[in-house]
Amino acid sequence: MSLLDGLGDTILISVSSVVLGTILGVFVGLAMTYGQKWLRFIVRLYIDFLRGTPVFVLILACFYILSVVGVDLTAFQAGVLALTLFCSSHVGEIVRGALSAIAVGQTEAAKSIGLTFVQTFIYVLLPQALRQILPTWVNTATEIVKASTLLSIIGVVELLLATQQVISRTYLSLEFYLFAGFVYFLLNFVIEQAGRAVERRISIP
Amino acid sequence: MSPILTISGLHKSFGELEVLKGIDLTMQRGDVVSLIGSSGSGKTTLLRCVNLLEDFEQGSIELAGEKIGYREDGAGQRRRLSEREVARQRAMTGMAFQQFNLFPHMTAIRNVMLGLIKTKKMPKDEARAVAEKWLERVGMAARSDHYPGQLSGGQQQRVAIARAIAMNPQIMLFDEVTSALDPELVAEVLAVVRDLAVDGMTMLLVTHEMRFARDVSTKVVFMHQGRIHEEGTPEEIFGAPKTERLQGFLANSEI
Ligand SMILES: Nc1ncnc2c1ncn2[C@@H]1O[C@H](COP(=O)(O)OP(=O)(O)O)[C@@H](O)[C@H]1O
Ligand SMILES: [Mg+2]
């Protein structure tokens, strides 16, 4: 039973981090592409800092440092926050790349039929960018699933920690570690296949 | 009759480089004006100013009685209009680009419908009907569910023209719409443009197709180094060019 709970937490952590991280990441990518110089500079620092820091350290920082400055998060919340920030830096970078790869003529054509900047972004640029980033984004999602194991160090009973708890009761370490490994593989396999399926569906003829 | 387009004293620079050095041009409803001139003379930039895709430092452009792009504040300072205003005014002109610039993730008909739905706030059904009508007009009705990647260059350009014109603009701007096309596809696009001209559409077009300019234009404007060097009826420009520059230019163009 506790293994199932652990799996549930792993899924919940991964899904929330990827969803929140992607939304935040789109804004990060937008700021990098269209922001004023000072904004781009700040966001660049944000991206480089998050990408240059081990996720392990990010998790500890979100859990311990935030509580020192008076923001009390549960271990679960702190973990999701860390993974969300990590995810947003990756998504931000790939969104920026995808947006700057779209020909400037697309924006001009959109403007010339009277679309505002926001409309141009939503209906013309984003759909093209999302198609382009999908493969890399799926990759990021699987990285997040793997990184979710690190939440065990701050005591979140996700799949890995739940497995270790079962092992400490049963002493069947090989069997349960193999089982956990297999479940992680399965999760990421499903994500990748779903990604491919979506990619095929939305590919532009 | 008051003019549909009045460009006065238009100056435009890219940094140090002054590209338009005082352009004056007036068009009446139904006029077809062709801009000719060698590469780099500022033809594209002029169209882009009219479509408000470029800022300009001096002069004014008046479209259907409305100053576009800028206003003067209380202190007489020239100010760029808000993004929303500019977007609205842009929709008053239709632009067809050299590179078509269709939206690759939308079918032909979706390309045409987008502006109708988002800018004109038309209900979907009505937008579809209008889009179908224009795709029919440019001979693309049978391909309305194709994506741009599935169309030839000439077909893409015809859809792009339908997309612009479906917005019911006051004036259509064409920037060398055939120069990215294989030679065998040029005629089908020119036929569409000619059709629109015959129908009384007001058009300002940049073209290297001299024979075409001669046939469809009510006026031809020869640009040289950011200025209008000579202008007149097609007969005057092609039949009796006055300046040496224009004579030289025409001698080097295929007619
Ligand atoms: N975005 C730009 N930045 C800098 N210079 C430009 C830009 N666009 C055009 N120019 C320059 O302006 C001049 C006129 O260009 P253009 O209007 O494209 O001429 P044409 O369409 O007659 O060939 C050229 O010298 C060109 O290099
Ligand atoms: Mg040009």
Nearest ligand to residue B97 Cα: 2
CATH number at residue B22: 3.40.50.300
The phi and psi torsions of B76 (rounded to 5 degrees) equal 80, 10
Two tokens, residue B142 = 């049978």
Two tokens, residue B167 = 């917005």
pLDDT above 70 as % of chain A? 100
**Ion ligand 2 neighbours, Cβ < 5 Å:** B 44
Closest CA to A87 of A44, A33, A23, A40: A23
Domain that holds residue B224: 5-252
B255, pLDDT greater than 70: no
Two tokens, residue B191 = 């036929």
The number of the ligand 1 atom at minimal distance from the alpha carbon of B48 is 17
Two tokens, residue A173 = 């370490």
Q: What pLDDT score does A5 carry?
A: 87
**Ligand 1 in contact with B45 (CB < 6 A)?**
yes
Q: What pLDDT score does B73 carry?
A: 82
Q: What pLDDT score does B74 carry?
A: 81
Q: What pLDDT score does B63 carry?
A: 94
In tens, the pLDDT along A144-160 reads 999 999 988 888 888 88
Average pLDDT over residues A158-179: 88
Average pLDDT over residues B229-242: 95
Find chain B residues with C-beta within 8 A of A109's C-beta. 95, 97, 101-103, 160, 163
In tens, the pLDDT along B2-40 reads 899 999 999 999 999 999 999 999 999 999 999 999 999
Reduced 3-state DSSP string for chain B: CCCCEEEEEEEEEECCEEEEEEEEEEECCCCEEEEECCCCCCHHHHHHHHCCCCCCCEEEEEECCEECCEEECCCCCEEECCHHHHHHHHCCEEEECCCCCCCCCCCHHHHHHHHHHHCCCCCHHHHHHHHHHHHHHCCCHHHCCCCHHHCCHHHHHHHHHHHHHCCCCCEEEEECCCCCCCHHHHHHHHHHHHHHHHCCCCEEEECCCHHHHHHHCCEEEEEECCEEEEEECHHHHHHCCCCHHHHHHHHHCCC
Two tokens, residue A30 = 């937008």
Q: Report residue A66's pLDDT band, with 50, 70 and 90 as the boundaries.
A: confident
Find chain B residues with C-beta within 8 A of A108's C-beta. 53, 95, 97, 101
A1, pLDDT greater than 60: no
Q: Counting Cβ atoms within 10 Å, is residue B252 exposed (0-12), middle (13-18) or buried (19+)?
A: exposed
B133, pLDDT greater than 70: yes
Q: How many domains does chain B have?
A: 1
In tens, the pLDDT along B38-97 reads 999 999 999 999 999 999 999 999 999 999 999 988 887 889 999 889 999 998 999 999
CA distances from B106 to A204, B140, B244 (A): 8, 15, 48
- Residue A138 CA from chain centroid, whole number: 9
**Ligand 1 in contact with B226 (CB < 6 A)?**
no
Closest CA to A75 of A150, A4, A145: A150
Average pLDDT over residues A120-135: 92
Triad A37, A39, A43: Cα angle to 5°: 120
Average pLDDT over residues B129-141: 96
Q: What pLDDT score does A70 carry?
A: 83
Report the 10 Å Cβ neighbour count for B200: 11
Asked if B93 and A112 come within 8 Å (Cβ–Cβ), the reply is yes
**DSSP character string of chain A:** -HHHHHHHHHHHHHHHHHHHHHHHHHHHHHHHHHS-HHHHHHHHHHHHHHHHS-HHHHHHIIIIIHHHTT----HHHHHHHHHHHHHHHHHHHHHHHHHHHS-HHHHHHHHHTT--HHHIIIIIIHHHHHHHHHHHHHHHHHHHHHHGGGGGGGT---HHHHHHHHHHHH--HHHHHHHHHHHHHHHHHHHHHHHHHHHHHH---
Q: What pLDDT score does A128 carry?
A: 93
Is residue B230 within 8 Å of B237, Cβ to Cβ?
yes
Place of tokens 């920037």: B175
Amino acid at A64: Y
**Ligand 1 in contact with B14 (CB < 6 A)?**
yes
Between positions 47 and 66 of B, the ones with CB within 8 A of A are 51-53
**By mean pLDDT, which of A67-76, B26-35, B119-128 is the weakest?**
A67-76
Q: To the nearest whole number, what is the mean pLDDT of chain B? A: 94
